[in-house]
Amino acid sequence: MLNEKVEKILNTQIAKEAASSSLYLSMASWCDTKGLDGCAAFLYDQADEERTHMLKLMKYISDSGGHARVPSIPEPQFQFRDVTEIFSLVLKSEMHISESIHDIIDTCTKLRDYTTLHFLQWYVTEQHEEEKLARSILDKIEIIGLKGQGLYLFDKDMAGFQVATEMKTQESGGGAA
Ligand code: OFO
């Protein structure tokens, strides 16, 4: 049976994953309005991934005898200056999620909840990958630049990146959840 305190913080994490999903969806939609198809496709996919992170937590809470709650989410930011702002916010959001996962790990360690600690290892690895990914996209922007044809080339690159990521996911046998 899940410790009450652990159930509560995992439910808080559900809300954070839902908020990430909704923010990425909003970013994807903004990219769509600017004709940035590659960035939009990438962000729609990231939004889906965040939703699977939320579902994975819900399932864990339920399977452990707890009650997973569906959070209400405030409307996320919907105007962005440019893709640099978008991917800087993605990195900031991922760092915030990593910190939050580490806080849960601290609590579970204190409470000697080894089962939840084991479950959370997947999130630790995932966050490491996601932060690395966001940093590499920001590096790409820096290298390509956004002036002249830069934005077009960056978006094209993101489209290719998206296909490569999807192929990798298929090869490894499915999604993140
Ligand atoms: Fe689920 O927050 Fe990152 O991946």
Average the pLDDT over 101-130 and give the result.
98
Q: Ligand 1: list residues with CB < 6 Å.
A: 17, 20, 50, 53, 94, 97, 126-127, 130
Q: Whose CA is nearest to atom 1 of ligand 1?
A: 50
Q: For residue 177, name the pLDDT band (cuts at 50, 70, 90).
A: very low
10 Å CB burial of residue 167 (0-12, 13-18, 19+) is exposed
- CATH code, domain with 80: 1.20.1260.10
Q: What is the pLDDT of residue 166?
A: 65
For residue 47, is it within any domain? yes
- Which atom of ligand 1 has the smallest separation from the CA of 20? 2
For residue 177, is it within any domain? no
Q: What is the pLDDT of residue 26?
A: 98
How many helices (H) and strands (E) the chain has is answered by 5, 0
Average the pLDDT over 34-40 and give the result.
97
pLDDT value at 139 more than 90: yes
Q: What is the pLDDT of residue 12?
A: 98
The three-class DSSP label of residue 148 is coil
Probe ligand 1: pick from 12, 20, 104, max atoms within 8 Å of CB? 20
Chain segment 54-70, per-residue pLDDT in tens: 999 999 999 999 999 99
157 Cα–ligand 1 center, Å: 22
For residue 107, is it within any domain? yes
Average the pLDDT over 79-107 and give the result.
98
For residue 14, is it within any domain? yes
For residue 145, is it within any domain? yes
For residue 176, is it within any domain? no
Q: What is the pLDDT of residue 164?
A: 64
Average the pLDDT over 19-37 and give the result.
98
For residue 136, is it within any domain? yes
Range of the structural domain that residue 94 is part of: 4-171
pLDDT value at 40 more than 50: yes
Give the CA angle between residues 97, 170, 84 to the nearest 5°: 40
DSSP string of 79-142, one letter each residue:
--S-HHHHHHHHHHHHHHHHHHHHHHHHHHHHTT-HHHHHHHHHHHHHHHHHHHHHHHHHHHHH
Probe ligand 1: pick from 21, 23, 53, max atoms within 8 Å of CB? 53
Give the CA angle between residues 21, 24, 30 to the nearest 5°: 145
Q: What is the pLDDT of residue 1?
A: 85
Chain segment 123-132, per-residue pLDDT in tens: 999 999 999 9
For residue 81, is it within any domain? yes
Average the pLDDT over 74-79 and give the result.
97
Probe ligand 1: pick from 21, 24, 42, 49, max atoms within 8 Å of CB? 49
Query: What are the structure tokens assigned to 118, written together?
Result: 């084991």
Structural domain total, the chain: 1
